[in-house]
Each structure stands twice: as structure tokens, then as C-alpha cells.
Amino acid sequence: MKWQKKALVTVLAYLCLAGFARAGEIHQGADSLAAYEKQTAMIPMRDGMRLYTEIYRPSDAKEALPLIMLRTPYGINRRFDYQKLSYLRELVAEQYIFVYQDIRGRHQSEGQFVMLRPVHDKQKQSSIDEASDTYDSIDWLLKNVPENNGRVGMLGVSYDGWLTAMALIDPHPAMKAASPQASPADMYIGDDFHHNGAFRLSYGFEYVVMMESSKTQSRFDFNRYDTYEWYLTLGALSNVTDKLPLGKLPTWQNFVNHPNYDAFWKEQAFKADIERVQVATLNVAGWWDQEDFYGPLHIYKLLEARDKDGVNFLAVGPWNHGGWARKGDKLGNIDFGSATGDAYREQIQAPFFAFYLKDKGQFDVSEARTFRTGDNEWVSHAHWPPRNNVAQKPLYFHVNGRLSFEAPAADTKDGFDAFVSDPDKPVPYRKRPVEPTYYPKGSGWSVWQTEDQRFVHLRPDVLSWETETLAEDVTVSGEVIAQLFASTTGSAADWIVKLIDVYPEEVESDHRMGGYQFMVAGDVLRARYRNSFEKPEPIKPNEIIAYKVDLRGHDHTFKKGHKIMVQVQSTWFPVIDRNPQKYVDNIFKASEDDFQAETHRIYHSASKASHIMLPVVSE
């Protein structure tokens, strides 16, 4: 075979320099398309470090092929063997040379690992970042991998998606197509480690253990199955720093030393520091991504402002983190009526790479393609968020738990609802027991956002408002913002808002869904950051303050016969750390004595009309 003969000659030429090994090795899996020749290399970077890389070329290729690169901190050993049967199945059928790489300091690559390594100083020739490592790798691959067509694509999910996004900042000229998928964009504003200034405790804690306690992955050894109880027993976050080995790890120390949105977090955040989008980009997100929903939409938005050639696209489906790699017909208890993951990979992802890397076919997908849940159908948009046929309509809170598009008519003495928020008895964010995030036998973490919210409904520290039964469909498409007027007897608070689709009491297709409370969107605001994420402020006790809680966005139809509900609470534990409710400069250094129960009020009078702003489709 042409590739094999040429590869053997090439390997002998640079075996010692590059660390290439096992030339011509054949990988034959269960799939008929899975016969690949595998090569390995230690690819040199500009500072002398070498990155472990595996290269796979179809054994029956009859022409020069593009390269598709996947870089990861999670280890590439046997990754292609299973991804080619699911996530990459359609790309395997089209035929590409697949390149996998352990990033700097992880698994078999040399160098020091730095979590979310900031962009390097371009004025210093020897400085490095993930973009420079990608650039150097592509440059080497083009020169040393036989029979490539000179074009490179890149994709990845989560951290791998962030690595793809970072490569767009200073792309190699041969990079023609990229798909950052579920990529974080800002770890303080809306992704893995914080949401609107509130620390994501359980995920941040367990992820740092996994990534920094060894060069390969490891899990924290909880001594209880229910981590809700473990984290509650842990007490103040200062106990992590003072009493646990985790407290000495670099990223935990960064949490402690950078509690506000300072230069440290801003340097890590994705910035579209480019004049124009140079690489065709397919941004991918899932409506119920439990880790990085904010990121891909924000990256799309930043690139869109610089997209002069119409090559920046967005696809959002009814998925959790990376759910488009699977069938995608269900998520938890919610059935979407079709294989949405298969449809995305076949109709969007595969045509995207074929068009931009091979000049094959057409990529006539609209600017944004979203799966509208409720109606359970794909919808095309000329822009995201949609600009046409969408009206911003406030849905107001009323007395007696009523929710209506009609504003409150007057100020009344009972124009508020109150509850006591007790940090010692926080509201769980999902049904207990809360298994560890990376529990080897399966964890509810992956589907918690689609859980039935009745497990907290009617708790005394969770307020609820709902509409009458809908007489017609209400379709929401775009960004969802909650506007609260609230007060507290304390000097600090968190506000959690959830937008919920309440099913009818009888559901013919599945009786178990009767009355189901399906969270369409939800998020948190740490009130100290109501005016600025850089400069926190205490709350004046009992002062009524306006708060804006960004629930990001969605494309969902509340069907006729359903109801719309909004829930408001102040704890979401342990996915969000407990707010002491007494203002302290740094919650990571708070003591046990700082935590105190306080009374919160949510107002719904004519002058203090709390509401949720919905972008309602008017067709």
C-alpha cells in the first residue's frame, strides 16, 4: 500500500529525532471502517519540550487526506478506538488522518501542566501557550506525515474544546476548520468553577483533585456515599485549605487567592483578539450541559462580531456535557422523540469538515441551528439570539404563588414572599444521595438539570410561582433574564432562579411524567457582585435591591396544557458553596461563626415587580 511503503522510508529517516514508533501498525476494530495504521511521535515544541502524539490513517486511503486533530489533558491511550465507533463515526466514514495528542505536562507528554494556561506574550519568542503548542504540532505534522492534503481541522469537547478555541487565537495557516464543543470561555462568569461569582464547590473540588493530584486522573476518596452530607460536615471552605492536601494544590490556592474577578481570571478567559475569523468555526453546546453551557455561546458571540466571511456557526441541542456524541434521544427522564446526537453528527458536523477540509458537498446549514425542545424539532436561525419575530415579555410574580404576563396592579402590604435561608440546612441541587461527580459506577451529575424539581417544591426555603394552565403554546427562543426585587436581614445572599415547565397531571405517552417539573433553565447570582464582579459589596440589611440573574438562553416551547413555573431559592448545595449570609471579604477564608440564618424577601408589587423576561416567539 502506498502509505505503508512511504511511511517505512520516512520513519527510518526521523525515528530518532521525533520518537516515531510502530510504523504501519494496523488497528482493526469491530467496525468495518476501523482499519487504521497507527504511528506515535514525540513532537518537539519551540521550547524543546516534546508532546506525545498518536496518528491514525485509514489503511485503504487512495488519496491525500486532511488531518483532524484532537488535543486533550485526559490521556489519549485507546481513545480513538472507542471514539471512532461513536463521536467520530461519520468522520471515519468520510476518511481523515486522525491525530491525538497529550497536552503539555499530562500523561506521556513532557513539560509542566498549567490549568487553562493563559495566552503567551507574543513579544517573547520562547514563550508558549496552548495555541503555540498547537501551531508547532501542526507545522511538524504537515512536514512529517506522508500524504496529507495540507489542511487541518480540529475539534474537542470540554477542556479539549477549550484547546480548540485557544488554537483560533493564533491559528496555523493550514488550519481551515475548527469545532470547539462545550468549551469553557470564562471560569468566573459562567463555566466550570464559578457562575456569576458563586463558587461551584463540588465540581471545582473534585475536578482539581482529578487534574492536579497526579499526572494522570485520580478521584477523591470520600468516606460517605452521599457527598451532600460530606460537604456539609466539611464546614467552611477554610477547612479545605487548612486541613486537606487538596488545599495545597495550585488551582485550589488560586480559588482562595482570587475570590473576585481579577486579572488572574480575565487572563484565562477566551478573548477574540483577532481582526477577523480566519478559521471556519462550528460552536457546539447542549441546553443542559452541567459543566460548560455559557462557554460555547459566549465564544460564538465574540467570534460573530469579527466574522466578516460568514464562517462562524452555532449548533445547540438537547444534550448534557458532550451528549451529541451519543444517540441523544433522551436525557434523564426527558424524551426528545428522535436521535438528536446522530442527526447533529450526520447533518452538521460531518458536512462541516467535509466542506472546509475537502471542498466536498455543501455546508448550507444556517448561521445557528438549535433543537427546540417541547416541539422537539430542529430550527434554523439567521442570528443567535434570534432578532426577528421575537418579543420580550415579562412574566410577573404575584401574590399567592401566581405567575402571569399581567403586571401587578398596585402596591400592597402583602406584596412580597419571605423565607428563611439557613446555611446549615441548604437546599440540595439534586436528589439525595448526591454521588461523587466521578463516581466509577455512575453518578446523577450528568443529568441533574433534567430532574423533577418536585423534590424541592414546597420546601419552606424554596418559593414557587406558576401560571394557569396554558391555553396555547408559548415558545421561548433566546436569552432569559430574571429581574428580582429582593431584601435580606443579612449582609450577603445568593439568588437562584429556575424556569420550569410543569407537565399536565396526566401524560398519555408516559404516566410517570404526570405533573413533572422540568427545569428548562436555571442559574445563580452571588449578590455581592450585583454591580461588579471585580468589586464586591455588602448588602444593607432590609434594603430592597434590584438584581438581574442571567439564565443564559434556551429554545423551548411550553405546550398547551402545561404550566410555567419559576422557583427562587438561596442555596443549591453542594454544586454551589454556602454563602455565610454575613458579608466577609473572602468566603474561602470565612470561619464557622460567619454562617448564619437570615430571612429573605422577594417582592412582587407594582413598584417592585419581580419578573422573568422571556423572548417569546410571535409567529
- The predicted model scores a pTM of 0.93
- How far apart CA 200 and CA 308 sit, in angstroms, is 37
pLDDT at 13 over 50: no
Q: Which residues pair with 604 in a beta bridge?
A: 609
Amino acid (1-letter code) at residue 92: V
- How far apart CA 565 and CA 499 sit, in angstroms, is 6
- Per-residue pLDDT at 34: 53
- Per-residue pLDDT at 379: 97
CB atoms within 10 A of CB 516: 22
pLDDT at 30 over 70: no
H-helix or E-strand containing 250? helix 250-257
Domains in the chain: ranges and CATH = 1-179 (3.40.50.1820), 194-266 (1.10.3020.10), 271-384 (3.40.50.1820), 390-617 (2.60.120.260)
- Three-class secondary structure of residue 444 per DSSP: helix
- Per-residue pLDDT at 411: 77
Q: Average of pLDDT values for 201-218?
A: 87
**To the nearest 10°, the Cα dihedral for 315, 319, 321, 323?**
-90
Phi, psi of 235 (to 5 degrees): 80, -145
**499: its cell numbers:** 424556569
- Three-class secondary structure of residue 436 per DSSP: coil
CB atoms within 10 A of CB 585: 12
pLDDT at 3 over 80: no
- Per-residue pLDDT at 263: 96
On whether the CB atoms of residues 599 and 489 are closer than 8 A, the answer is: yes
pLDDT at 121 over 80: no
On whether the CB atoms of residues 512 and 485 are closer than 8 A, the answer is: no
Q: Average of pLDDT values for 117-140?
A: 88
On whether the CB atoms of residues 55 and 40 are closer than 8 A, the answer is: yes
Checking DSSP bridges between strand 563-569 and strand 403-404, what pairing results, if any? unpaired
Q: Where are the alpha helices (DSSP H) in 502-592?
A: none
The contacts of residue 101 (CB under 8 Å, 6+ apart) are: 43, 51, 52, 53, 54, 69, 70, 71, 72, 76, 109, 137
Report the alpha-carbon angle 355-553-281, nearest 5: 20
Of the chain, the end-to-end C-alpha distance in Å amounts to: 58
- How far apart CA 281 and CA 312 sit, in angstroms, is 5
On whether the CB atoms of residues 602 and 610 are closer than 8 A, the answer is: yes
Burial environment of residue 28 by CB neighbours within 10 A (0 to 12, 13 to 18, 19 or more)? exposed
On whether the CB atoms of residues 155 and 499 are closer than 8 A, the answer is: no
Residues 268-302: pLDDT tens digits? 999 988 889 999 999 999 999 999 999 999 999 99
- Minimum mean pLDDT range among 99-108, 209-218, 354-363: 209-218
- Per-residue pLDDT at 10: 32
Burial environment of residue 256 by CB neighbours within 10 A (0 to 12, 13 to 18, 19 or more)? middle
- Per-residue pLDDT at 24: 38
Count of CA atoms in the C-beta half-sphere (13 A) of 32 = 0
Report which listed range, 8-12, 82-86, 424-428, is most confident.
Answer: 424-428
H-helix or E-strand containing 150? strand 148-157
- How far apart CA 203 and CA 213 sit, in angstroms, is 15
- The C-alpha cell 404550566 sits at 563
pLDDT band with cut points at 50, 70 and 90 for residue 214: confident
**Distances in whole angstroms, Cα of residue 72 to Cα of each of 115, 122, 202:** 12, 23, 23
Residues 566-588: pLDDT tens digits? 999 999 999 999 999 999 999 99
Residues in the chain: 619
DSSP state of 345: I
- Three-class secondary structure of residue 478 per DSSP: strand
pLDDT band with cut points at 50, 70 and 90 for residue 564: very high
Amino acid (1-letter code) at residue 29: G
Residues 226-235: pLDDT tens digits? 999 999 999 9
Residues 301-343: pLDDT tens digits? 999 999 999 999 999 999 999 999 999 999 999 999 999 999 9
Q: Which residue has the higher pLDDT, 230 or 123?
A: 230
- Three-class secondary structure of residue 163 per DSSP: helix
Amino acid (1-letter code) at residue 421: S
- How far apart CA 421 and CA 427 sit, in angstroms, is 9
- Per-residue pLDDT at 219: 80
Average of per-residue pLDDT values in the chain? 92
14 closest CA partner among 107, 143, 110: 143
Q: Average of pLDDT values for 18-29?
A: 40
- The C-alpha cell 463558587 sits at 199
- Per-residue pLDDT at 619: 72
- Minimum mean pLDDT range among 123-137, 188-202, 338-352: 123-137
